[in-house]
Structure 1
Amino acid sequence: MSCPVYLINLPRDTRRLAVMQAQLQRLALPFEVTPAVYGRDLSAEERARLYSPALNRARFHQAMAPGEIGCYASHLQVWQRLVDSGAPHALVLEDDAELRPELPAALQAVAALPPHWDMIKLIGREPESVLQSWPLPGCAVELVRYQRAPSLTCAYLVSRDGALKLLRSRRPFFRPIDVDLRHWWEADLRLFGLTPYPAGQTDEATTSSIGSREFGAWWSRRWRKGRTQWHYSRGNTRANRALQALPDPFPELNAR
């Protein structure tokens, strides 16, 4: 497995780091720690450069918490790190990921694929509703294209082209990263997943490092949430129709 592995971890979360280090060593996966951004430590100028309150008000149903801003900024750092490295793709992990024994074989199978993908999710909700699936030789998982992309972001593969697309389209950002990546069509992101998923979440996931959100009045938030969900459903339906009109990206895998 030659692609870089980037582990996002707040320096203060030493226990999480130790758990991840043990898992990665057990699977013989070398990794690099990327210090996470602590949102409350950002200056007003840094926050304004990263996050757009105006776009947030227009296109999401509630303001982002400082921790959510820091989380997104951490992933931006990783994407830039991948671009600077020159590697074709990277494995990105948050420090609450549970790594399953199938992961190394799945990574090897993905490395043999043609570069017709930008992001492959390694965690989600089982079972998934999929548009299309492809068996991957040599491992017990298959590549899928989603009806609706899952929101979890603690384990995924991203290509260099995918990182470039996200860096161009998501500075500044205005939604939490788990929600934002579900809107893959906005960045022209070629998004797939592997199922059964070779990663999950540890018990640490129940204790978030992100912190609480900033809330507005409940009635305003409820109306805005309904509007956000309607826009997502409409955009997702249109994007899926466009995908189905395109040629099969992996005909050699005998899609079914």
Structure 2
Amino acid sequence: MFDVHVISLPRSGRRDSIGRVLSEKRVAFRFADAVDARIFTDADIAECYDDAAARQLYRRSMTAAEVACFLSHLSVWKEIASTGRGAVVLEDDAILEQGFFERVLHMSDERLASIADIVLLGRSKLPRTCAAAAYFHEPLKQSTLMDGLRVGAPFKQWTSGAVGYWISAQGARLAVENARGPIRALLDDWPWHIDNAGVRVAEVRPYVVWENFEVLPSSIEAERRALTKSRKAVHDAALWPLRIVRTIWRWGAVAMLRMATLIMKGDSRHERS
């Protein structure tokens, strides 16, 4: 099995729950103490965070909790990079599907690393009841079937959370190198990691990790909402027809890519015969 790192604040009160689940499944894991934003002083923030760079990216400042979140994951990345093999990183509010234990933990590290540097196992703020709609609107461009799960990159990456992911040793090294200096981006800004570090980011379908956000509210999300202007319902309704057109186009592209792959495989078999 992969090593499993659970990032958690000692004061959060969430360790018993996820620790019990992992122990019952006989999964070897360790808790990684998260950086506590509450102990940050203004001087601490100024030393480890580049506000000008963050505002240029997001048109707002990052919260102390967002900075602390990045530092927490960065510490785990450094450890994974030093081991030379991939590992799974979870946050302590993760809900784990049976597929996580039966499939993900037993996947080949080498095969996963040939596909991606980071594989997202779930998405933040997504209720299970909305999973089918999410898969429909965000199909994977090209995917590989591994132990009953599809692994591939979607058409668009965004800040989709870090509740659970696998990261290769090489991906950890790239991410650590990219994070040198003060924090200047969100931990889960996957496009930023892709563009600045060359990290290959993929996802699994179906998801096997869920964020328990409806029961365990996130302090990061509350602070983030206070700094981010919420879009009006009218604006979202106006974008709905465009989303439908985009989804139809994406599935058409997926069909063409799969057809091209089948043709290439057929030609390859013909040449060998």
Q: TM range, normalised to the smaller chain?
A: 0.7 to 0.9
Question: Which of 183, 200, 209 matches 1:199?
Answer: 209
Q: 1:46 offset after TM fit, Å?
A: 3.9
Indicate the SS of the match to 1:177.
coil
Which is richer in helix?
2
Decide whether the 8 Å contact of 2:60 with 2:228 is kept in 1.
no
Counterpart of 2:211, as a letter, is Q
Counterpart of 2:143, as a letter, is S
1:58 maps to 56
Q: Could you say if the C-alpha distance between residues 34 and 196 of structure 1 is closer, same or farther in structure 2, counting changes exceeding 3 Å? A: same
Q: Could you say if the C-alpha distance between residues 205 and 71 of structure 1 is closer, same or farther in structure 2, counting changes exceeding 3 Å? A: farther
Decide whether the 8 Å contact of 2:152 with 2:203 is kept in 1.
yes
Q: Could you say if the C-alpha distance between residues 123 and 70 of structure 1 is closer, same or farther in structure 2, counting changes exceeding 3 Å? A: same
Gaps of 5+ in 1: 219-243
| Distance across 2 between alignment mates of 1:148 and 1:97 | 23
Decide whether the 8 Å contact of 1:144 with 1:192 is kept in 2.
yes
CA-to-partner distance for each residue in 1:96-140, whole Å, 9 max, x for gaps?
Answer: 11111111222212435163221011003631322111111xx32
Decide whether the 8 Å contact of 1:62 with 1:215 is kept in 2.
no
Decide whether the 8 Å contact of 1:34 with 1:78 is kept in 2.
yes
Question: Which of 78, 97, 101 matches 1:100?
Answer: 97
Equivalent residue runs for 1:1-256 within 5 Å? 1=1, 3-14=2-13, 16-84=14-82, 86-104=83-101, 105-111=103-109, 113=111, 115-116=113-114, 117-124=116-123, 126-127=134-135, 128-136=138-146, 139-149=147-157, 151-171=160-180, 172-178=182-188, 180-183=189-192, 184-203=194-213, 206-210=216-220, 211-213=222-224
TM-score normalised by the chain length of structure 1: 0.75
Q: Could you say if the C-alpha distance between residues 40 and 214 of structure 1 is closer, same or farther in structure 2, counting changes exceeding 3 Å? A: farther
Q: 1:72 offset after TM fit, Å?
A: 1.0
TM-score normalised by the chain length of structure 2: 0.71
Indicate the SS of the match to 1:156.
strand
| Distance across 2 between alignment mates of 1:149 and 1:45 | 33
Q: How many residues align?
A: 219
2:233 maps to none
Report % sequence identity: 26
In our comparison, the structure showing a higher alpha carbon Rg is: 2
Indicate the SS of the match to 1:197.
coil
CA-to-partner distance for each residue in 1:68-105, whole Å, 9 max, x for gaps?
Answer: 11111101111112123x14111100011111111122
Q: Could you say if the C-alpha distance between residues 217 and 47 of structure 1 is closer, same or farther in structure 2, counting changes exceeding 3 Å? A: closer
| Distance across 2 between alignment mates of 1:45 and 1:63 | 16
CA-to-partner distance for each residue in 1:29-57, whole Å, 9 max, x for gaps?
Answer: 11111111112313445433431111012
Q: 1:206 offset after TM fit, Å?
A: 4.8
Counterpart of 1:75, as a letter, is H
| Distance across 2 between alignment mates of 1:54 and 1:112 | 39
